[in-house]
Amino acid sequence: MENKFDSEKVIEEFESITKNAKKVQAETLKKILKENCEAEYLKKWNLDGKFDPQTYTSSVPVVTHKDLLPYIQRIADGANYPVLTGKPITTITLSSGTTQGKPKFVPYNDELTETTMQIYRTSFAFRNRAFPIGNGKALSFIFGSKQFTTKGGLLAGTATTNVYRSSQFKKTMRAIQTPCCSPDEVIFAPDFHQSLYCHLLCGLIYHEDIQVISSTFAHSIVHSFRIFELVWEELCSDIRKGVLSARVTVPSIRTAMARVLTPNPELADKIYNKCLGLVEWNRLIPEMFPNCKYIYGIMTGSMEPYLKKLRHYAGEVPLLSGDYGSSEGWIGANVNPNLPPEMTTFAVLPDIGYFEFLPLTEVDLDGPIESKPVGLTDVQIGEEYEVVVTNFAGLYRYRLGDVVKVIGFHNATPELQFVCRRNLMLTINIDKNTEKDLQLSVEAAAKLLATEKLEVLDFTSHIDLSSEPGHYVIFWEVSGEASDAVLKECCNCLDKSFVDAGYVSSRKVNAIGPLELRVLKRGTFQKILDHYVAQGSALNQFKTPRCVSPANQTVLQILCSNVVKSYVSTTFG
């Protein structure tokens, strides 16, 4: 028998560790250092058996991924001695590679699976208290990424793949009453298009059992329902005949789906008629999944632009934003699920890693550090910091590259809001526009597009320095044919919506050239997604890169070769 999930007990434990956050942090650090003190990297810093925060932070430097890469590479190449951790690392995580254009290698071990389960249980306990669910299933748009072996024989895949493959994951999902409605063969299929189709089919077959719809990041939920709009008739036909569409060719998926798919003309008619009755797919989710209690996934940061569409599909079904983490490990749980996604905060779990916070200064991600990081319980409300992580899998004082803002405290642990990736910044000279600034500017301009009943499906940006002066390029994929007049207006609006003083003054004196809006062929972002998945990412971890640097050649090339129209701003001219 599975252990019954006890929300109150989980919440009690969370309250206790967060009340003693400072002490728990010191104990967590001690545990990490004790377990790993034989590692070559830690020996180098002569901790001399002293595992307290003071000795640690004065002996071990703050580093970036670049600094640790030679060590990680040696692990991946099969080093048979403790390099970063006491116990050997047997698995490598591939980060999604959104920022740099190619996935980063990050060490992974069982402790990270454990902390993942802890954060899942914690936020679920709070969610379940506010939004109780019954026994049933989850329609989870989750996908195993491609896995490969490194030169040294280590398995490498995305963090979520490592988690989904673990036995603890299934155990936890069963305990929190939401096993995935799709068979494993669908989750781990070698082709995510086929996998997605079958997730949708399973969701419909079990439509009355679905309690929750989820994914890691909200993008994949929106993407999945956009696909639903295209394939619903085929899905209905499969259900009617009990035969899986020929589009699914992977034998293992076909065999697994044959076990759940039986002819059901009644259900097919029901779904077909419901689809016909929907106006522009509004309230698709409550219509198809009448018992769905909420939609769950990360909806903050670069996911915010998808909220509008998600709300359109969700109707009255609440949107609950997920936790905050990365391939390098989890950081905080959303323990206030009642807050709208835009206001989500993350309470840092003080026993899943040792956390420091680097006050923001004017330096680049790779630049020298001018300020000293402060400890978890020493952060100031209202201030912004870059997160620095020490985890159980060989990362020591590692700059994550994310900017967070301290909103308050839950007991003694800070509640953070995600602000942006630190180096995803549009800058030519004295201007500085973050991912968030870009999002706001796109939102403002998209309102003009709405007058033609069109929407921005996705967007990204690029700094074009190929001619003098350099200028911002914004790429848009639009849901239909917009008129030239409105796109021209959108372009002007984008330009004037960047209100950063550095940008405005540079534009006025033409030190930055007119902003350019380039409209993309339909399906361009799908090509970008395909590219990332081919590199080893997974659909559920995909984040559209919001600023594409020249280093990200392939994506830039996909963008530039799919431009159908372009407009130049006349705002300052």
Binding interface with ligand AMP (CB under 6 A): 95-96, 298, 300-301, 322, 324-327, 400, 402, 418, 421, 541
In the complex, the smallest distance separating the C-beta of residue 216 from ligand AMP, rounded to whole angstroms, is 8
Q: On the CB side of 327, how many CA atoms lie within 13 Å of its CA?
A: 27
In the complex, the smallest distance separating the C-beta of residue 334 from ligand AMP, rounded to whole angstroms, is 8
Pick between residue 327 and residue 552 the one whose CB is nearest to ligand AMP: 327
In the complex, the smallest distance separating the C-beta of residue 424 from ligand AMP, rounded to whole angstroms, is 9
In the complex, the smallest distance separating the C-beta of residue 16 from ligand AMP, rounded to whole angstroms, is 24
Do the Cβ atoms of 384 and 405 come closer than 8 Å? yes
Pick between residue 298 and residue 512 the one whose CB is nearest to ligand AMP: 298
Q: In sequence order, what are the beta bridge partners of 297?
A: 321
Candidates 440, 301, 438, 427; CA nearest to 364 is 427
Pick between residue 325 and residue 514 the one whose CB is nearest to ligand AMP: 325
Cα gap 347→183, rounded to integer Å: 33
User: Residue ranges of the alpha helices (H) in 321-475?
Assistant: 435-450
Pick between residue 441 and residue 541 the one whose CB is nearest to ligand AMP: 541
DSSP secondary structure string, 230-265?
A: HHHHHHHHHHHHT---TT---HHHHHHHHTT----H
In the complex, the smallest distance separating the C-beta of residue 95 from ligand AMP, rounded to whole angstroms, is 4
In the complex, the smallest distance separating the C-beta of residue 405 from ligand AMP, rounded to whole angstroms, is 12
In the complex, the smallest distance separating the C-beta of residue 516 from ligand AMP, rounded to whole angstroms, is 27
Do the Cβ atoms of 329 and 354 come closer than 8 Å? no
In the complex, the smallest distance separating the C-beta of residue 441 from ligand AMP, rounded to whole angstroms, is 19
Pick between residue 324 and residue 498 the one whose CB is nearest to ligand AMP: 324
Q: Whose structure tokens read 């040294």? A: 152
In the complex, the smallest distance separating the C-beta of residue 154 from ligand AMP, rounded to whole angstroms, is 18
Cα gap 380→399, rounded to integer Å: 19
Pick between residue 117 and residue 298 the one whose CB is nearest to ligand AMP: 298
For 332, phi and psi rounded to 5 degrees?
Answer: -140, 155
Pick between residue 289 and residue 355 the one whose CB is nearest to ligand AMP: 355
Pick between residue 213 and residue 303 the one whose CB is nearest to ligand AMP: 303
Pick between residue 301 and residue 373 the one whose CB is nearest to ligand AMP: 301
Pick between residue 278 and residue 407 the one whose CB is nearest to ligand AMP: 407
Pick between residue 238 and residue 402 the one whose CB is nearest to ligand AMP: 402
Q: Alpha carbon of 568 to those of 170, 408, 426, 506: distances in Å?
A: 52, 43, 18, 17
Candidates 257, 227, 229, 225; CA nearest to 242 is 257
Pick between residue 322 and residue 394 the one whose CB is nearest to ligand AMP: 322
Cα gap 473→349, rounded to integer Å: 40
Residue nearest to ligand AMP (CB): 301
Candidates 56, 63, 8, 9; CA nearest to 358 is 63
In the complex, the smallest distance separating the C-beta of residue 53 from ligand AMP, rounded to whole angstroms, is 24
Q: For residue 220, which amino acid is it?
A: S
Return the C-alpha torsion angle 435, 72, 113, 146, nearest 10: 70
Q: For residue 348, which amino acid is it?
A: V
Candidates 454, 447, 458, 425; CA nearest to 559 is 458
DSSP secondary structure string, 124-136?
A: HHHHHHHS---S-
In the complex, the smallest distance separating the C-beta of residue 429 from ligand AMP, rounded to whole angstroms, is 26
Pick between residue 169 and residue 289 the one whose CB is nearest to ligand AMP: 169
In the complex, the smallest distance separating the C-beta of residue 100 from ligand AMP, rounded to whole angstroms, is 10
Candidates 552, 561, 564; CA nearest to 517 is 564
Cα gap 281→530, rounded to integer Å: 25
Q: On the CB side of 539, how many CA atoms lie within 13 Å of its CA?
A: 28
- Element holding 456 (H helix, E strand): strand 456-464
For 433, phi and psi rounded to 5 degrees?
Answer: -125, 125
In the complex, the smallest distance separating the C-beta of residue 325 from ligand AMP, rounded to whole angstroms, is 5
Candidates 551, 163, 549; CA nearest to 330 is 163
